[in-house]
Structure 1
């Protein structure tokens, strides 16, 4: 991998792939890419000087180029078949594994919260003038796409993803695990298999572990590495006191942050633990946290119109949606309207009742059609099935602004949530209400 100067990222518009592209271009390599459609991320990449192709037939294969492809790229496709079984064509997990052999890796994993926590930890390092590299699948509100090549003698802060067992072979020096929850069961086939994958990664950590003992699935794991723990319930190294305090070595600390929600406070304490293991004092971490503006699409405040606040969030799992609804409930005096776009047919099928129970927590939830993310339709799995007394089905995003306009009032809150293209809806709602 070290010998390649030209890189082509296939599926470059994905959150994880765009951050790799930005990391590589900052490393001084010639980077280009392909994606099937223009998006906010491809626009950002092009602004960073990366050429993005949107037509498959215009891709030119070269043995002198290293190709990195995402899980969204089907190498059986006639346009991509030429890339099969080539030494210069590797998957995203293979690339990250190779990268882990070149740098010290500070990893963050977990079903929920890993992107925000990775971004926060990278911010803590940079605030304290430590130029770590980082790769995570999101964009922050201050530095754009989550990829950065820093000082070669500093660690790489890496979001280590469980999807498709991406983290299986990554060589991790220090690891934070935020939680373990049921997801990606279409790949792992059972929750037991997913938990086993996490355990295997945890047991291979070379130096230090930081574990969230509020999570029952984590608390029950026997670990052999040096381990720091944090919890609001258990006696742990760091003891959380909600809403915004924690205790370490009998000293009580207060967290000042723009982020809302108890799940963010938990992630902040985990990041502080990991930073402390790497030489950053708690006081200096807390100063950094005060200046962290957050990650795009993580309870992102889009604006206010006629006294109605509009937020956007990436949550696509029942646990994530519940955490976001709970956080906004604590910060609104009016009604809460949730517009949810289910992501993948398999996830919708496997979590249907959990999704429905969570959506009932809003004053009114609107569910639009499922975003397939490349999956085939599963007969009988439909957003229509969610309809209930306070859950309304609307076929498309276009129908939402006018539907809401006669129902929202001053002090109400609107949340758009999902991992698909629902992120485009929030600005349209603001524009419609403002007209």
Structure 2
């Protein structure tokens, strides 16, 4: 990438944009960018980290785009009325979608490993990256979350890893249809469930994705994934399951509050005991998918099992922020029915009331997920739990507000759950802090908003 190209990222602080910018900068490209969060003074440490990597930062007012030789990278959500996009059109700069740029890097790699699925993508990507790193494969990893194993004073926002090995590991996104751009040698399909698109659309997108792969690793515990696996020849699939019929299975699960142990069995082989440092049955599924991917890449099973035991997780994935006055604060990325279900099921396996602040990640997704989200929450909220919903994330642009947080609360109340709509997020947080008693666990949930992690830490401070 050190071919004299100049990239300008509009929204460079985004979870999908920042690691891509860091990979390009590490490969010698000239990289600059802007972000509304930077202009608003939100999460300044993130932008300090980008600047420390030699990435120039500009206000999102068009001032950073001055030449036709610049390649302007933006997500599909960035509207043409944003001043940077107006400037790009004025100077004749080439525009690329983030996914188009990432796919071009991914497809050019010697060993592209793509991780797909409605839930668990970032964790599986981090697990694969960690195993390959620990086994000397020196991968490049593109993640949508900070991988705590790679965090250091020099890399506080380690959502990307740049290596010299053949493997390029990346999560791939189905929400905007860009998954169709990727051509993985090894494809991972963790699960298929309702989130941004209808199941009919998802079946086509995920089916085509694994169909393009040389080898597909598929979670057979997910009915939709198992149905897609049936369309592949046996030699092109590697199946995983918990207590099921698959090439790689997990048995004898033994959960701990912030970890879980299990027996790992490859078809016909003796079991290997694995102790994960991340909790929950869903993380056993994630571990199986990651181990399946590295097995397809040639890593011996014993080496993979030993390495994954050292995986410490991701920021905002059931991350324990701390405990004060007997109350533990947890920060979690849960935002769709399946992710929320996995978090609540894991936490309810151990004592303690849950005080949940769930900030929906947008009005559009809330409309799509409404009924499934309400069903998931209503089935899992214990009588003593308290759920508070502030208004959804809104970061500018045009959006219809057909379904709101108040609608979700009304639906849940009709189901007999304890739920409150407190529009202002700070007020919602203050309500839960005031409500908390020793033994409770406060859970901050949501996506597309980096300040949720800051909020969780501020709640701990108030406690």
Relative to the length of structure 2, the TM-score reads 0.87
8 Å contact kept, 2:32–2:56: yes
Aligned residues: 426
The 5-angstrom pairing of residues 349-360 of structure 1 reads: 349-360=367-378
1:130 match:
137
Q: How does 1:82-121 map to 2 (within 5 A)?
A: 82-84=87-89, 88-103=94-109, 104-121=111-128
Q: What are the superposed Cα offsets for residues 96-128 of structure 1, whole Å, 9 maximum, x if unpaired?
A: 232134212011111110111101100111111
Q: Distance in 1 between matches of 2:439 and 2:141?
A: 39
Counterpart in 1 of 2:320?
A: 301
Equivalent residues of 1:339, 1:366 under 8 A apart? yes
Q: Distance in 1 between matches of 2:326 and 2:60?
A: 44
Task: Find the counterpart in structure 1 of residue 171 from structure 2.
Answer: 159
Any stretches of 5+ residues in structure 2 without a counterpart? Answer: 151-156, 255-261
Query: Is residue 400 from structure 1 mapped to residue 418 from structure 2 by the alignment?
Result: no
Report the 3-state secondary structure (helix = DSSP H, G, I; strand = E; otherwise coil) of the residue aligned with 2:9: strand
Say which is worse superposed, 98-107 or 297-306, in terms of deviation: 98-107
3-state DSSP of counterpart to 2:158: strand
Range that drifts further, 223-232 or 73-82? 73-82
Q: What's the CA shift string for 1:113-152, capped at 9, x where partnerless?
A: 011110110011111121111111111123233222211x
Cα distance in 1 for partners of 2:116, 2:61 equals 33
**For the Cα contact (< 8 Å) 2:60–2:83, is it kept in 1?**
no
For 1:78 and 1:293, the matched residues in 2 are separated by: 40
Q: SS in structure 2 opposite 1:369?
A: coil
Q: Structure 1 stretch 88-97 or stretch 123-132: which is displaced more?
A: 88-97
The 8 Å contact of residues 345 and 377 in structure 1, kept in 2 or not, is answered as: yes
What residue number does 2:352 align with? 334
Task: Confirm whether residue 411 of structure 1 aligns to residue 439 of structure 2.
Answer: yes
More divergent stretch after superposition (307-316 vs 55-64): 55-64
- Output one character per residue of 1:157-216: Cα deviation in whole Å (capped at 9) or x when no partner: 11121121112121211111101111222xxxx3212211111111111x2111000111
- Of residues 224-233 and 21-30 in structure 1, the stretch that sits farther from structure 2 once superposed is 224-233
Mapping of 1:28-427 within 5 angstroms?
28-38=28-38, 39-40=42-43, 41-77=46-82, 79-84=84-89, 88-103=94-109, 104-143=111-150, 144-151=157-164, 153-185=165-197, 190-205=198-213, 207-221=214-228, 222-224=231-233, 226-241=236-251, 242-243=253-254, 244-248=262-266, 249-330=268-349, 332-360=350-378, 361-362=380-381, 363-374=385-396, 376-385=398-407, 386-387=409-410, 388=413, 389-419=417-447, 420=449, 421-427=451-457
Offset, 1:53: 1.6
Kindly indicate whether the alpha-carbon contact (under 8 Å) linking 2:10 and 2:60 is maintained by their aligned counterparts in 1.
no
What is the CA deviation profile of residues 298-320 of structure 1, one whole-angstrom value per residue up to 9, with x for unaligned ones? 00110100111110011110110
1:359-381 superposed Cα distances (whole Å, 9 cap, x missing partner):
34331111111113546453452
CA shift for structure 1 position 256:
0.8
Return the offset for 1:344: 1.1
Provide, for residues 275-304 of structure 1, a one-character-per-residue CA deviation record: whole Å limited to 9, x for no partner. 112121222122222221111110011010
Q: Distance in 2 between matches of 1:175 and 1:79?
A: 35
Distance in 1, Cα, partners of 2:322 & 2:94 = 45
Instruction: Quote how far apart the aligned CAs of 1:82 are.
Output: 4.3
Match of 2:257? none
Query: Alpha-carbon deviation of 1:46?
Result: 2.5
SS at match of 2:79: coil
SS at match of 2:356: strand
Consecutive unaligned residues in structure 1, runs of 5 or more: none
Give the aligned CA root-mean-square deviation in angstroms: 2.1
